[in-house]
Structure 1
Amino acid sequence: MPRPTAFPRSRRLKRRRLIRPLFERDRTDVQRVRAGTVVLLTRTVPRADTGHDVGLQVGFAPGRRRTNALRTQVRRHLRETFRLHQEALLGRFGDRPDALTVMVLFRGRDADAGAAIRRDLPRALARLADADLQVADRPLSTPDAPPETRPS
């Protein structure tokens, strides 16, 4: 049985076709949850589209920083704080037929990133756990469907 504070690779959001829709502004199925310097972009998708049998996949975007070292440091703070406060989301999406995809964004200053993330990310996760999230109504892609073409 996995530990409740573990963050295995299967829970990491890596597929572009799952990440890209989170950042499209005109989508109505993406929910935003903001708490201070942290923004969560969320969307429910059919579990089969994640590639793993997990109810939650999470990605981390530290934003543009001056150096790669700062980006790495902010990303580590985001991952660690999420790992410690993920229980509510895991409990809610463990048995559902769909999966929650979450992108965690940090929009604060570099100087106080660690303290701001430890303060704001748990609040954002609590708000997300209490939100009314709808089950996805269709898969992202079907293997038998022809690719969509754009009109010229």
Structure 2
Amino acid sequence: MSDHCARSDERRRTFPPSYRLKRRRLIRSLFDRGRDDVQTVAVGCVRVLCRVVEREALGQDVPLQVGFAPGSRAESGVERNRIRRLLREVYRVHQYTLVDLFVCRPDALIVMMLFRGAPEQAEDGIERDLPRAMRQVAARFEEGAT
């Protein structure tokens, strides 16, 4: 087992409130079509929007903040909450794919994870597609850093 894998098993897989994207101004900036600094990755039923910002803009000293949206097909509150919970759980397990890239950087990453599939396929689709989408986002930022 490599050194990196051993380290990731020892880490805490929590999702503290300071890592949640709540500022309306930052969320709006991810969906502004006029911006050219927003990166988008779509894998299967998941779309990930992300943007690099100054840490001061977050109001917290954290490497990234993440928000989750269930999509318009989830009609009832029960479905929306279930999809949001699944997105959070899968993100929490795989979060260090993105966190490690921004821990030592002076800037931060804001991320919005969107589910755009049918609610019946949420569990299998999110578990399959979200880690792949996060790896693709990480690969884009690793390319940009070198």
* Bin of the TM-score, shorter chain as denominator length: 0.7 to 0.9
- The one-character-per-residue Cα deviations of 1:35-82 (angstroms, maximum 9, x if unpaired) are 111000000100011010001100001012210100000000000000
The runs of at least 4 consecutive aligned structure 1 residues that moved more than 4 Å come to none
2:67 counterpart (59, 62, 65) = 59
- Match of 2:3? none
- Match of 1:139? none
Aligned AA (2:40): R
Equivalent positions of 1:7-18 (< 5 A) are 7-18=15-26
For 1:66 and 1:124, how far apart are their aligned partners in 2? 25
For 2:97 and 2:133, how far apart are their aligned partners in 1? 12
**Contact 1:36/1:120 (8 A) holds in 2:** yes
Aligned AA (1:52): Q
- The one-character-per-residue Cα deviations of 1:72-105 (angstroms, maximum 9, x if unpaired) are 0000000000000111211111111111000000
Would you say 1:70 and 2:79 are equivalent positions?
A: yes
- Match of 1:143? none
- Match of 2:40? 32
- The one-character-per-residue Cα deviations of 1:116-138 (angstroms, maximum 9, x if unpaired) are 00000000000011113769xxx
Aligned AA (2:38): V
Would you say 1:88 and 2:97 are equivalent positions?
A: yes
- TM-score normalized by structure 1? 0.84
Deviation at 1:4? 3.4
**Contact 1:4/1:87 (8 A) holds in 2:** no
- TM-score normalized by structure 2? 0.87
SS at match of 2:111: strand
- Match of 2:123? 114
Unpaired segments ≥5 residues, structure 2 = 1-10
More helix by share: 2
**Contact 1:60/1:103 (8 A) holds in 2:** yes
Across the aligned residues of Structure 1 and Structure 2, the Cα RMSD in angstroms comes to 1.6
- Match of 1:79? 88
Query: Cα gap change, 1:39/1:85 in structure 2, threshold over 3 Å: closer, same or farther?
Result: same
Would you say 1:46 and 2:49 are equivalent positions?
A: no
* Rg larger for: 1
For 2:87 and 2:104, how far apart are their aligned partners in 1? 25
**Contact 1:33/1:124 (8 A) holds in 2:** yes
